[in-house]
Structures are given as C-alpha cells and as structure tokens.
Amino acid sequence: MSKFTMSPGPVTLDVVGLTLNTEDRRRIMNPLTGGVILFGRNFSNRKQLTQLTAQIKKLRPDVLISIDHEGGRVQRCRIDGFTHLPAMRKLGNLWSAKNKSTHLAASAAQAMAAATACGYVLASELRACGVDLSFTPVLDLDFGRSSVIGDRSFSRDPQIVFALAKSLNEGLRLAGMANCGKHFPGHGWAEADSHIDIPVDERSLGQILNDDAKPYEWLDLSLAAVMPAHVIYPQVDKNPAGFSKIWLHSILRQELGFEGVIFSDDLSMEGASVAGSVVMGAVMALDAGCDAVLICNRPDLADELLANLQVTKVKRAQSASRLNRLMPTIPGVAWDALQDQAEYLHAKGYLRQLALIE
C-alpha cells in the first residue's frame, strides 16, 4: 500500500504486458494518472490478471482499473473460465422474437432479464479479478451503416436500447460495478471507423437528439459515465463530440442533465487527430467537459501527455470527485467462491437456457 494519499488525475493509460515494468510503475505513480485500462495483451489467465490488478492497486489504491469487455467480438478476457457473453444484438433480437408460443411482451421481459444476467456475470467475473469498470453498454443505434458498431448495438430502436441498457446496468450494479454508455451522441450512422478514420455524420441536431441521444436522456441517473464519439457532426459543431463544448457542456450536461463522469475516447485514434498533438487533444477534451482522457497503445504519447498536461486545481477536484463515484460499491467475490454463488449460477443458467451462452 502506498504511504501517501493521492487523488485520481484525469489521465487513463495502459500498461505494456502481463506484469508491471519500471516504466509502467512510473506512469501509474504520476499525479496526473487516474486510471489504467487493460487490453488482451495484459491477460494470459485469471491468476496473472488478478496479480496484475493487485500490483496496480498496491501502487495506487485510488486508480480506477478499466477494460473494454462488452460481450460478442469486444471481450478482452476470453479464456480460463470467463463466460463468452453474447453480442448485444442477440438481446435485441430476443426482444423482437415473437412466435406462436411467445407474445412480444414476454419476449421483451425475457430480453431484459437476460440483459441483467449478462451484466451480473460480466461484472462478477471482472470484479473477481480486480477490475473495477467495463466500458459498457454501447448505446449506439444500429442503422446498418457502421461496421465498427454493428452487432455491438442492442437495436435500431432507441426504446429497446434504453430498456436493455438499463437492465444491463442493473446487473452491473448488483455486482458492484458502475457503467459507461458510449458513444455519445451516437456512432451508429457514421460509416467510418474512428480508429482509422475521421467519421462525419451530416444529420441535423434535431434528428440526432430525437433518435440517437434518447437512450442517454431516458437513462438519466442510472448512467454513471459517458464516452463521447470521435465523430464530427458538422450541423452542430466543427469539432468531434469529444472535443465539443456544445455536445458535452451545453447538450449533455445542461440540456440532458448528466452529472456523471465523461471519458474521452482514446486520444491515439485517428478520429482524435483533428485536435493536433496528444496534449492539445487532452486540453481540448478537458476544456469541452471531459473529466478523464484515455491514451492507449502509445507509451510515448502517454509520456508526452504526463510531462506537459496542465490542469487547474478546481477542474482536478471536480473530476476526481466524479471519478471516485465509479469505484466498486462492494468487494469482488473471489473466483472460486463465485462458482458457488447462487446469483451467479442463476444468471448463467438463465443465459444458457436462452442459448445465449454455451
């Protein structure tokens, strides 16, 4: 345990391998660091993952350990006992599956119960290994245009997305984990992949607010965090949403009343390149309303950011207060004990009954 107390800073960064090296430790101990995001390269088995998260927490108990673990094709931990959760599209399909023996209302109820079960299994397994937060759920609508979103989306219908996301969030909460809705206000219409391109969505503000942004409005207090899209909506602002005061402050904070954490998406992605350098991108994102900025897969850029980013004391205090609310609310259950836990077994049994998992 560290001998001194630090508060989480605005930078979330990654680590190189399966255990911390000297450079990882230096970056994590930087006062500007507030989070560590893990990737598949950081996982070989549960024991190793649990040791890695314990190493991080020993250095910085206040650091939030996160991961992209949605289910389907975006699931970092796939082996050594982790449940391979379904893509969220399967839950949306279950909602709409009406046949001779199942009324639509019953299908909707089944889908919501399955979403809660998914959230509980997802969070319980990650918490058992010391991970604090998964960047889920995806709230983008599936317009059939974006390959990077595709079956990660629950549905084209914002009401279905809202209902299933709220149910998934409840499963996360029951296991002690917060949530992060993404990618505000919506990445489902823009065809380009912001990892390698700069997506543009030409629709009007009214169209987006009346469709894509509805799940954010309806989820209200059940939404703990939001990640904006690296998408430009030129009818609203020349800047991508994650760098836009209009989207983050005027619309998300003021109009929709969101009071949780705002994470930038990864500043190393091509969609963030319009901001210029990584430091300029971080400054723009924080000025626009983000509480935390992500820098992934580029240790050199993480070093540049930690060496040059300046954040006011007031901004740091506000963001640290919000970030602290994302810490797990209950201790994680150890993996072996989890395998005998009634709630966990019930959730997995229900998903298996619906043929959503093996």
Which one of 142, 211, 237, 265 is the catalytic residue? 265
Q: Are strands 74-75 and 69-71 parallel, antiparallel or unpaired?
A: antiparallel
8-state DSSP, 331? P
Whether 195 is catalytic: yes
Which one of 195, 220, 287, 346 is the catalytic residue? 195
Whether 265 is catalytic: yes
Q: Side chain identity at 250, as an amino acid letter?
A: S
Active-site annotation, residues: 195, 265
